[in-house]
């Protein structure tokens, strides 16, 4: 389970980002429009024709996705396709994670109708997805160290309002191959969800130190 | 936090389902096509024009989503917009949950490139999202009883292969306002992730018995 990677130059990164990020943002708007649309059958058929044409265009050339892309300058994996943080995955809010000098991570982003569970509130499982990701990222030093989630416990203090939220995470301690991380999700009224996770360095990476 | 609901007739349910589910399925294919597309700028621009036209069409009439729809015959909430099980939310795989007579729940479905974390494997947070949902559904008797997640612990035994997976859940025991549920995610080689959750009947629903 050792993952291969390719390096992408800063220039090529900027080119792809400029070209593909607006496409993903347009898809996010379309997902939202689709969830609660009440248009008639004829209008749905017209929309379907556009979706089909767009799909055919985008499937014209596909990147072989068997490896992780790393940025030439930062060395960091891009995680462009990631369902929590991927700039190129319309499922991701995306959560754009900031790495502080002290190793902590945080992100502020908006959760719209696509992430709704009970009316007006974020689905609890979406909170778990996002906290799992940010805890994993803080534990693996920005995905630079191979680490896998062993266990994660998520405690719901109260509902999280849809809208602007903040996620944050830090490492509590490390013991041998285990790293203990903790994090929070907050809405405009404070902490709504707490998470604790144990992340483990896989056996194949242990000899490398 | 008491949620209002509207009833939808069986006939209207069928009509809406027939009209909107193909739209959501087309969006799922489009999300996948977008993640790894490598087409040139001019082709992206053509695709964007189609997405923009489709969004405008679908935004032409939107359902006011301040209430939960319940099916007139079954009484069950539709959860059409739900990010785990929603037939009308392109973010959802969707996980279509089967309810057995003994109260257990299960679902078999496919996780494609939109749910990928490390190359070839399901993102751990996606496993947490899906298990949180199915445990919540088994604990609330198919979303018929108001129950909120108190805590959920997710234990990753190994990576989950992208592709066909199975989720299952059952109630271990109930004590007063608390229901303890447990579940698993399995790929073609067996159990990959275990989850235990405590679900709590909210204060406002306790008097109702």
What would the pLDDT profile of A51-70 be if each residue is shown by its tens digit? 999 999 999 998 876 567 78
Contact between B48 and B57 (Cβ < 8 Å):
no
What b-and-e string marks burial along B52-70, b requiring 16 or more CB atoms within 10 Å of the CB? Answer: ebbbebbbeeebeeeebbb
A128, A147, A148: which to substitute to probe chain B, counting the most B Cβ within 10 Å? Answer: A128
Residues A22, B37 contacting (CB under 8 angstroms): no
Query: Using CB atoms, which residue from A81, A136, A156 is nearest to B148?
Result: A156
**Which runs of E-coded beta strand occur in A54-104?**
68-71, 98-99
For residue A1, is pLDDT > 50? Answer: no
Distance CA A123, CA A10 (A): 37
Query: For residue B117, is pLDDT > 70?
Result: yes
Cβ within 8 Å of A, B 86-115: 86, 88-91, 113-115
Residue A85 CA, distance from chain mean position:
2
Taking the C-alpha atoms of A111, A113, A118 and A124 in order, what is their torsion angle to the nearest 10 degrees? -40
CA angle B202, A111, A48 (to 5 degrees): 115
Please answer yes or no on whether B89 and A159 come within 8 Å at the CB atom: no
Collapse the DSSP code of A86 into the 3-class scheme (helix H, G, I; strand E, B; otherwise coil) and give the result. coil
* Fold assignment, A93-207: Thiol Ester Dehydrase; Chain A (3.10.129)
The predicted pLDDT at position A71 comes to 82
Stated pTM of the model: 0.93
Residue B112 reports pLDDT greater than 90: yes
- In degrees and rounded to multiples of 5, residue B41 shows phi and psi of -60, -40
Portion 11-70 of B in contact with A at CB < 8 A = 19-20, 22-24, 26-27, 29-31, 33-41, 43-44, 46-48, 50-55, 57-63, 65-68
The lowest-confidence range among A29-43, A154-168, A172-186, B4-18 is B4-18
Best of A61, A114, A123 to disrupt the B interface by mutation (most B CBs within 10 Å)? A123
pLDDT of residue A201: 87
Say if residues B31 and A25 touch (Cβ distance below 8 Å).
no
Q: Distance between terminal CA atoms of chain B?
A: 17
Q: Of A1-10, A40-49, B5-14, B193-202, where does mean pLDDT reach its minimum?
A: A1-10
pLDDT over 60 at B17, yes or no: yes
Radius of gyration of chain A from its Cα atoms, rounded to whole angstroms: 19
A179/A174 Cα distance (integer angstroms)? 4
From the number of C-beta atoms within 10 Å of its C-beta (0-12, 13-18, 19+), residue B153 rates as: middle
Q: Which of B30, B58, B88 sits opposite A54 (nearest CB)?
A: B30
Nearest to B149 by CA among B197, B103, B82, B84: B197
Q: Kindly tell me if the per-residue pLDDT of B2 is higher than 80.
A: no
HEC sequence for A126-151: HHHHHHHHHHHHHHCCCCCCCCEEEE
- Domain range list for chain B: 1-92, 93-207
Predicted confidence (pLDDT) per residue in A67-94, tens digit: 677 888 877 777 899 999 999 999 999 9
User: Which pLDDT does position B1 carry in this prediction?
Assistant: 43
| CA–CA gap between residue A138 and residue A173 (Å, rounded) | 12
User: What pLDDT, in 10s, does the model give residues B124-155?
Assistant: 999 999 999 999 999 988 667 778 889 999 99
Percent of chain A with pLDDT over 70: 94
Report the pLDDT value the prediction gives residue B10, as an integer from 0 to 100. Answer: 87
Cα–Cα distances (Å) from B169 to B12, B128, B131, B159, B195, in that order, read: 31, 13, 8, 19, 9
Question: What are A119-147's pLDDT values in tens digits?
Answer: 899 999 999 999 999 999 999 886 677 78
- Measured between alpha carbons, how far is A152 from A193 in angstroms, rounded to an integer? 13
CB of A189 within 8 Å of a chain B CB? The answer is no
Pairwise CA distance, residues B193 & B183, whole Å: 8
ipTM above 0.90, yes or no: yes
Please state, for a pLDDT cut of 90, what percent of chain A lies above it. Answer: 72
């Amino acid at each position: 389970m050792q993952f291969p990677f390719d390096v992408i130059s800063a220039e090529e990164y900027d080119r792809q980002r400029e070209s593909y990020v607006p496409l993903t943002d347009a898809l996010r708007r379309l997902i939202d429009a689709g969830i609660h649309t009440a248009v008639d059958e004829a209008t749905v058929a017209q929309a379907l024709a556009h979706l089909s044409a767009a799909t055919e265009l985008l499937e014209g050339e596909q990147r072989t996705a068997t490896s992780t892309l790393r940025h030439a300058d930062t060395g960091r994996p891009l995680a462009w396709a990631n369902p929590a943080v991927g700039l190129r995955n319309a499922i991701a809010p995306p959560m754009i994670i900031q790495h502080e000098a002290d190793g902590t991570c945080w992100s502020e982003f908006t959760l719209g109708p696509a992430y709704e569970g009970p009316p007006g509130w974020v689905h609890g499982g979406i909170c778990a997805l996002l906290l799992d990701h940010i805890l994993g990222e803080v534990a693996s030093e920005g995905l630079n160290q191979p680490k896998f989630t062993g266990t994660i416990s998520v405690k719901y203090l109260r509902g999280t309002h849809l809208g602007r939220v903040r996620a944050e995470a830090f490492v509590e301690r490390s013991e041998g191959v285990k790293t203990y991380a903790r994090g929070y999700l907050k809405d405009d009224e404070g902490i709504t969800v707490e998470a604790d996770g144990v992340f483990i360095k896989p056996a194949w990476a242990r000899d490398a130190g």
